[in-house]
Amino acid sequence: MKFNIRREVWRIQPHKFLQAFSQPGNREHQLWSFLCRLSLERQQDPLLISSEELATSSGLDEANIRQMLEIATNNGSAKLENPED
């Protein structure tokens, strides 16, 4: 049996990320700070990263990260690069 494992790769614009939330809380600020730092370290804008890597590196819950990134798609600051068929 063969399994297809697909990672969610996101294209994220950290400078626009917080604007997607009407009242960003602590989680949103933590993720935003982490996204900005990674973007600078990797010299990538927009930043390309998987939600799995974000969870592992940041210590935040992957389900929460996915939820925040999905909300951020509304203002165009995040986009799923390889959506499930």
Q: What does the pLDDT look like over 19-52, one tens digit per residue? A: 999 999 999 999 999 999 999 999 999 999 999 9
Per-residue pLDDT band at 71 (split at 50, 70, 90): very high
> Is residue 84 within 8 Å of residue 73, measured between CB atoms?
no
Stated pTM of the model:
0.86
> Is residue 27 within 8 Å of residue 60, measured between CB atoms?
yes
